[in-house]
Chains A and B, each alone.
Chain A
Amino acid sequence: MRRGFTLLALATALLLSFALYEALIAAPTEQTMGDVQRIFYYHVPSAWTAFVLFLINFVSSIVYLIRRNPKADILALVSAEVGVVFCTVVIVTGPIWARPVWGIWWAPGDIRLTTTLVLWLIYISYLILRRMSTGGRTPVIAAVVAIFGALDVPLVYFSIWFFRTQHPSPVIGGGGSLDPRMAHVLLINWAAFLCLAWLLSWVRCELEVATRRVDEAQALESLRESSR
């Protein structure tokens, strides 16, 4: 357990520094956009990582409602929290890139921008609910809200699909032509970000388990005090 964690931390550190070198120095400079384009190596992998984490949140919420396993609930909480962090990175890096390239910070009505923003809002409200809800019902109602949120995403997507879209089309599987060298750097960065997400989730899981154990112990303690 401990050793596995140390190994993962080392691998993440190595992979992140290698990905940084690849993205900033080794990757070829884009012809029209210049160096600004390099933010793409952080923007896109963060987005993919956030989507993976939100998917994990959705699946573990369903598993929790079926099995009532506390581990699934912890996984749902942790993946939502770490997912919001990565989603924030996406939302912050997007405008930094858009300002020099499009000339505007934000394109309202764009399909990917708005869907990501709504996703971010939904999961923040999910986390607020978890923080504000009282007693032992939190896992059930949080899982229910997570399912509502996940079902909302395709509807958001279709509603904005009707608008004209400004965001560059997906680089993988979207008919876009990406230099193989750039795709290589992108995938290395994604691997590094996934490792980082895994590492963060691991630490957060252990923290959550410890917090719950302390809460239980305190509850037992006060029960014993009162019965004495």
Chain B
Amino acid sequence: MSFFAITRATLAKDIRLEWRSKDAINAMLFFGLLVVVIFSFAFDPTAEESRRIAGGLIWVAFLFAAVVALNQTWARELRNQVLDAYRVSPAAANPLFLAKALGNFIFVCVLEALMTPLFIAFYKLRALGPAWELAPIALLGTWALVINGTFFAAISLRTRSREIMLPLLLFPISIPALLGMVNATTAVLSGEESAWFWIALLLAYDVVFTTVSLLLFELVLEAE
């Protein structure tokens, strides 16, 4: 099978499973909703203040919610030794990784699309800068979280208490990406400065870590 055929097959399988069980998306959505509600109790901002802090709040909420989905990425493949079967099959490692990352990307994007209206309602948000720039920021930022998250979820499979290990690995490495997302979003919302430096930074982050993940994933999968 070719690279894209394996990617497509795995991705279709994951989406079908998720569509039928809705395990990850339900847990993520409810978790995200809880974060929004708790933040709204913790801060009671005016419109001006909320514009300054909203970028941080939104991305921290998405980051926490994404971890819920990322933790379940590989757990499904451990049941019935699916991952071991994949390992002994002649299929390459990278299409599997890419399919998992794309699946998580789709789940987190769905989450963001559903959560953003809530944020707008709770924090009375209105962008003063060019609002269309939020689309590339969201796509690049989500990919940055998901590519490393999928990779580190595979690494934490090899550890004790893997659900704790994933955020411990993911958060420190994601700091530059988070800085980029938060500052770009704040720049657009407040309209005071250009967001393009941060978008370029996110792009660089995505390119670097997508390349490294694809180069090193085979080592992680075969690490026995």
Q: List the interface of chain A (C-beta within 8 A of B).
A: 65, 118, 121-122, 124-125, 128-129, 132-138, 140-141, 144-145, 147-149, 151-152, 155-156, 158-160, 162
Interchain nearest-CB distance for B121 vs A (Å): 30
Residues of chain B within 8 A of A160, CB atoms compared: 179
Q: Does B110 belong to the interface (CB within 8 Å)? A: no
**Residues in chain A near residue B173, CB distance under 8 A:** 122, 125, 148-149, 152
Q: Is the CB of A145 within 8 A of B219?
A: no
| Residue in contact with B216 in the complex, picked from A125, A147, A155, A156, CB distance below 8 Å | A147
**Please, which residues of chain B bring their CB within 8 A of the CB of A145?**
152, 155, 169
Instruction: Check B176 against A159 for contact (C-beta < 8 Å).
Output: yes
Contact, CB under 8 Å: A135 / B204: no
Instruction: Write the residues of chain B forming the contact surface with A, with a CB cutoff of 8 angstroms.
Output: 148, 151-152, 155, 158-161, 165, 168-169, 171-173, 175-177, 179-180, 183, 197-198, 201, 204-205, 208-209, 212, 216, 219-220, 223-224
Contact status of A159 and B201, CB under 8 A, knowing A122-B172, A134-B158: yes
Does B212 lie within 8 Å of A133, measured CB to CB? no
**Chain A binding site: helix, strand, loop or mixed by DSSP?**
helix
What's the Cα separation between A149 and B170 when bound, in Å? 10
Supply 4 further A-B pairs (C-beta < 8 A) apart from A128-B165, A137-B224. Answer: A122-B173, A149-B173, A155-B205, A160-B179
Question: In the complex the two chains form, is A133's CB within 8 Å of B172's CB?
Answer: no
* Count of chain A to chain B residue pairs whose CB atoms are closer than 8 Å in the complex: 87
**Beta-carbon contact of B220 and A141 below 8 Å:** yes
A147 vs B220: C-alpha distance when bound (angstroms): 13
Inter-chain contacts of B176 with A (CB < 8 A) = 118, 152, 155-156, 158-159
Interfacial chain A residues near B165, Cβ < 8 Å: 128-129, 132
With most chain B CB atoms within 10 A of its CB, the pick from A137, A149, A159 is A159
Separation in Å of the B44 CB from the closest CB of chain A?
24
A147 and B159 CA atoms in complex are apart in Å by 18
The residue that B212 contacts in the complex, of A65, A124, A134, A151, with Cβ under 8 A, is A151
Of all chain B residues, which has the CB nearest A152?
Answer: B173
Measured in the bound complex, the distance between the Cα atoms of B154 and A133 in whole Å is: 12
Rounded to whole angstroms, the CA-CA distance of A141 and B165 in the bound complex is 13
Which 6 pairs between the two chains have the least Cβ-Cβ distance?
A137-B223, A121-B172, A155-B176, A159-B176, A140-B223, A132-B159
CB distance from A168 to the nearest CB of B (A): 23
Given contacts A125-B168, A140-B220, A162-B197, contact A133 B158 (CB under 8 A): yes
